[in-house]
Structure 1
């Protein structure tokens, strides 16, 4: 039985290119049963024109899991959304926040903040095509836009098209002058504006994203009335810090999970992936930060970084690295 994506959206792990692969999401699901997980952004043209349906592959244990799509053509997005819904995703999300050059050249991502009517058309077409919920992830504005003016208009238009859930990255995106990396850090955060949007649109489920690194910070936003919090880089680089306590602290269910136990549960999965032709480092690169801040973390990273690339490397390397962690913890 699939979990309810809206309920799960109280805490989510952001879509991150090259990071939130299926291997990464499988690990994150072992740390939290409740958190909503997002794919990397998949472009609608890659699915519809390119036939790259392998980009939709995911493990059944990842639920609740959302597919993020990039695109700006309503017809093509509707087709891509149907492919995603048919593949079993619990939610289809439209990217209106990514500032990369590649995304701009495709006329989607953050550049869509300039054309809320087009975004509304895309949302309406996607909703018509699928049973899964269609959601939007956006910025507060781009370039010289005035967020206090453009964001309410943007939300009003997508709400009119039937979108009931939106995640707002509380920074502008500067498409002229800043790199994608700089756009994650340099534009100032405006959390207050996101809280104002919740007050102005009480019927919308609004999640906040940007710079939130701990469950304590997440709870502050939830306690002030936001419906959800999306965590990005912190959930990737220190997954245990963000996800191990998420179920009891954010959802009031379950208990704090153990990253060492998650590693043990990863072993059969790793075995299966390797037998399908995957390389060990494709999987273990997502596990490097699992023990961040704990005794033996450096040795754990080193063993996996140096050993997982070697020919024939298998689950036994992960077991050895875990045993070394246990030795350090006991010392």
Structure 2
């Protein structure tokens, strides 16, 4: 498969973003990304969404928000906002941290975000502003820029409206990469969690975009949980695939197969014990770095799904809950909790991925919406 993304000089020495981990508020923090990189060398990592305002107002305290270890490359900074001046300043302030791409959030349905006036997914209703924002971000950085959006908002959910958004943003700004969460967002009082499950997935919209915008790059997001499904989405034509909750809830089972199954690398043979030894070294430098924060609980939180469905898992979680109440170092935390997990589980490298899952994309090309046509009309009257 010819893959054009690596042609950007900045991306040349990284694996292509065939697999990325979604930006998730309060989940994809530095601690989680450290763990994710220990398990997969090739997955692209994203920060939690950072508001441009936060970066601007905390400019004397930026390490706390933007610092990460060099092992985390390739890593994308996701920013949100609706003020062009702050987006410009935030991009400039982030430049010294050398993120590999800057992504603009047009997909978050959180009332904390969407309620701040026009922010997050509401921006899909204003493609002209998104194009301006992307132009401003791109003008203040030398790394690639991308947009993460949904397929629609409330009753603005036709395929044609989605195409209008993509067309306007891509033709009026340097944006050529879109990450598409293949559900619409409902802003009428359902929670962010419900917004990840209630509106139906419409993968046919995503594959319609691939057909109708052959010069752009599209990454698919939403409802994809296994490396088999990742490869199925790519076989159907997706340039990249972004996985969210499965990568957080089951980091070993999901990320453990990325390098071999998605990227074709030989197995590293790494075990969970080896990963935890390295994580402990990181954790003990992280705990208490900013006074009382982060706590052992903050740092260890991404580990809770590491033994998903293994013997000892529920006992390990109970011990972890108890340990969080009094442990002050990661070493103490591990000494107290890992006794719940049998040695053979700790010392077993990742096995073969489970096979035989359904291919959600098998017939997708027969379900595509009618082709997008309104460009020609716009041009006639331009």
Scaled by the length of structure 1, the TM-score of the pair is: 0.94
Structure 1 residue 194: deviation in Å? 0.2
Distance 1:254 1:159 in 2: 38
Where does residue 42 of structure 1 map in the other structure?
A: 50
Distance 1:245 1:329 in 2: 17
Distance 1:200 1:5 in 2: 30
Where does residue 9 of structure 1 map in the other structure?
A: 17
Where does residue 216 of structure 1 map in the other structure?
A: 228
Note closer, same or farther for the CA distance 1:324–1:146 as it changes in structure 2 (3 Å cut).
closer
User: What secondary structure is seen at the aligned counterpart in 2 of 1:234?
Assistant: helix
Where does residue 285 of structure 1 map in the other structure?
A: 301
Contact 2:327 2:333 in 1 (8 A): no
Distance 2:207 2:13 in 1: 22
From 90, 109, 113, give the equivalent of 1:99: 109
Structure 1 residue 6: deviation in Å? 7.7
Distance 1:173 1:6 in 2: 33
From 12, 24, 28, give the equivalent of 2:32: 24
Contact 1:4 1:64 in 2 (8 A): no
Structure 1 residue 316: deviation in Å? 3.3
Contact 1:164 1:204 in 2 (8 A): yes
Distance 2:345 2:180 in 1: 40
1:25-75 alpha-carbon deviations (Å, 9 max, x no partner):
000000000101111110001112443523112222211111110112222
1:293-321 alpha-carbon deviations (Å, 9 max, x no partner):
11121122222222023153431331453
Where does residue 228 of structure 1 map in the other structure?
A: 240
User: What secondary structure is seen at the aligned counterpart in 2 of 1:142?
Assistant: coil
User: What secondary structure is seen at the aligned counterpart in 1 of 2:47?
Assistant: strand
Contact 2:146 2:178 in 1 (8 A): yes
Distance 1:57 1:329 in 2: 33
Contact 1:5 1:36 in 2 (8 A): no
Structure 1 residue 85: deviation in Å? 2.3
Structure 1 residue 98: deviation in Å? 0.3
Where does residue 131 of structure 1 map in the other structure?
A: 142
Where does residue 243 of structure 1 map in the other structure?
A: 255
RMSD: 2.1
Note closer, same or farther for the CA distance 1:258–1:199 as it changes in structure 2 (3 Å cut).
farther
User: What secondary structure is seen at the aligned counterpart in 2 of 1:293?
Assistant: coil
Distance 2:209 2:319 in 1: 47
In the alignment, structure 1 residue 307 sits paired with structure 2 residue 307: no
Where does residue 66 of structure 2 map in the other structure?
A: 56
Note closer, same or farther for the CA distance 1:61–1:211 as it changes in structure 2 (3 Å cut).
same
Where does residue 356 of structure 2 map in the other structure?
A: none
From 323, 333, 345, give the equivalent of 1:317: 333
User: What secondary structure is seen at the aligned counterpart in 2 of 1:40?
Assistant: coil
Q: Show the 5 A alignment for 1:64-75.
A: 64-75=74-85
Distance 2:158 2:20 in 1: 24
Structure 1 residue 147: deviation in Å? 3.0
Distance 1:183 1:313 in 2: 37
Distance 1:115 1:285 in 2: 37
From 126, 149, 153, give the equivalent of 2:160: 149
Where does residue 297 of structure 1 map in the other structure?
A: 313
1:141-161 alpha-carbon deviations (Å, 9 max, x no partner):
100113301111111122221
Unaligned runs of 5+ in 2: 1-9, 347-382
Structure 1 residue 180: deviation in Å? 1.2
Larger helix proportion of the pair: 1
